[in-house]
Structure 1
Amino acid sequence: MNQNHATRTAPVELRDEERQPCEIWTRVMGYHRPVSSFNTGKKGEFYERTYFTEEVSLAT
């Protein structure tokens, strides 16, 4: 087989009725819990979280 030949597959297309919700889990107080089990205030705190990426230091 030619190593330069990439096999391609058609993208999977799902209808809305075939989809299912994705359950989001997060670590709280040392253990993991689903966000769906949080009360209203805790859900609000979760969705207000900001994420950052640490930049590489160029110092030698």
Structure 2
Amino acid sequence: MTNQELLEKNSQKRTKCIIYTRVMGYHRPIESFNIGKKGEHKQRVKFTESKTNL
């Protein structure tokens, strides 16, 4: 069974995930963005801060 088939089969059991991002000092759900802001968000470069010993 493919991943897509598993997702469709279990769609009733899934919980909606809301992704928040920080905008101008406060957190806001991405789903409330307009089309332009959603496009901006997709183009953002994500990074992972490395853990180094100080």
TM-score over 0.5 (shorter chain)? yes
TM-score in terms of structure 1 length: 0.59
Structure 1 runs of 4+ aligned residues shifted over 4 Å read: none
- Across the aligned residues of Structure 1 and Structure 2, the Cα RMSD in angstroms comes to 2.1
TM-score normalised by the chain length of structure 2: 0.64
Which has more helix, going by share of residues? Answer: 2
Tell me which structure has the larger Cα radius of gyration: 1
The count of corresponding residues between Structure 1 and Structure 2 is: 44
Q: Which runs of 5+ in 1 are unaligned?
A: 1-13
Gaps of 5+ in 2: 1-8
Percent identity between matched residues is 56
Q: Which structure is higher in RCO with an 8 Å CA cutoff and minimum separation 6?
A: 2
